[in-house]
Amino acid sequence: MGKPIIWGKKILIGITGGIAAYKSVELIRRLREHGAEVRVVMTQAAQEFITSLTLQAVSGQPVFTQLFGRQTSAGMDHIALASWPDLILIAPVSANTIARLACGQADDLLSTIYLATRKPIAIAPAMNTEMWLHAATQDNVRRLQARGGMLWGPAVGEQACGAVGLGCLLEPDELITFVETYFAESQILMGKKVMVTAGPTQELLDPVRYLSNRSSGKMGYALAQAAVEAGAEVILVSGPCHLPIPQGVSCLSVTSAQQMEAAVMQHVVGCDIFIGAAAVSDYRAESIATKKIKKSTEIFTVVLKRNPDIIAQVVALENKPFVVGFAAETDHEIEYARVKLQTKSLDMLVANLVSDTRGFEQDDNEVVVIQPDQTIEKFALAPKRIIAKQLMILIARTTGMGVVALR
């Protein structure tokens, strides 16, 4: 029998104030049983419920409790701990800590680690039902998820106050399963090469004006992030966006559709998966004025010509990758998506309705995925980072590159 999937993984456990902190002892013990290396960070409130000595005994390592500690060089524990783990799991996480992380507050060791790290973070809440269901808590959780945070739990059960409801910390075995699933999903595209196009294109009319659309690039960038987190080598071909490039992603910045076409066709050879999430302008000006066009007549006519169909060229390659297209519609998204899927001979098409609350320029999305056999899967409204991860798992399952159950 092989080693557990979390064998050798570095996991930082954050513990905040709450009676559920006692479960962290068993969680840490089980993680070490599975071969993980564990470090522990406690908030001041957590120390009211469980001692650092106990956690030091089960983790086999010193426990970090102070922002200005001296356990690392120059007392920079938050920087050293932020870069150390493969995964940060805060279990239990209180409503107070969720709020502080959502606001970017940095007044203790755990919150400064959150701001200083680029490592994956999961939170496992534990609190009274009413506190969990309060609109402020739910809004704060959504903000953390929009930044890529993973939510594990809470569960329904009897709480310390005597109430029964949603808000209990998951049991250690359940949290172990989430940890194992996370690391399994992080390997589903290991050794694969993925290209993602993202954002709008800009088609010049003159030196100061252009034709474009409302795409922010958020969905494409989230897909690139999800692909690299799944172990893939990722090339992102991006139109003009104001987004940070995901860590570990190679980005080719372009402006026009023709530039995007050139970048894609130059680098797509050898890719296993191509995801065309960019909102490429369908048309460009037939001629671009060399000087700013001055206002003169009441009606101004611009002659447009078709831009290249990038995704069609990728599909036509002799050794084409698995090709995923996107379709943003204002009505009848499934009907139009089916037509696009068939006419372009795509392997998968992701469609969504554009509105004021989802799609372009928004953090959330709700999509329908259609495959050539007319299989349809719907992903409910969620942050684009979550939608992207779900899509990456589906692509891996469909292509046979990875077999992981969707959560």
Residue positions annotated with a catalytic role: 161
The CA-to-CA distance between both ends of the chain, in Å, stands at 26
How far, in whole angstroms, is CA 109 from its chain's centroid? 25
CA gyration radius, the chain: 24
Cα separation, 265 vs 385, in Å, equals 27
Count of residues making up the chain: 407
Cα separation, 16 vs 374, in Å, equals 47
Cα separation, 101 vs 114, in Å, equals 7
What residue type is assigned to position 169 of the chain?
Answer: L
How far, in whole angstroms, is CA 206 from its chain's centroid? 37
Cα separation, 126 vs 110, in Å, equals 17
Bond before 154 cis per omega within 30 degrees: yes
Closest CA to 24 of 181, 177, 169: 169
Cα separation, 391 vs 303, in Å, equals 38
> What single string gives the DSSP state of each residue in 327-355?
EEESS-HHHHHHHHHHHTT-SEEEEEE--
Residue 176, CA atoms < 13 Å, CB-side half-sphere? 21
Cα separation, 177 vs 186, in Å, equals 14
CA torsion, ordered 97, 99, 104, 109, to nearest 10 deg:
-10
Evaluate whether 141 touches 127 at the Cβ level (below 8 Å). Answer: no
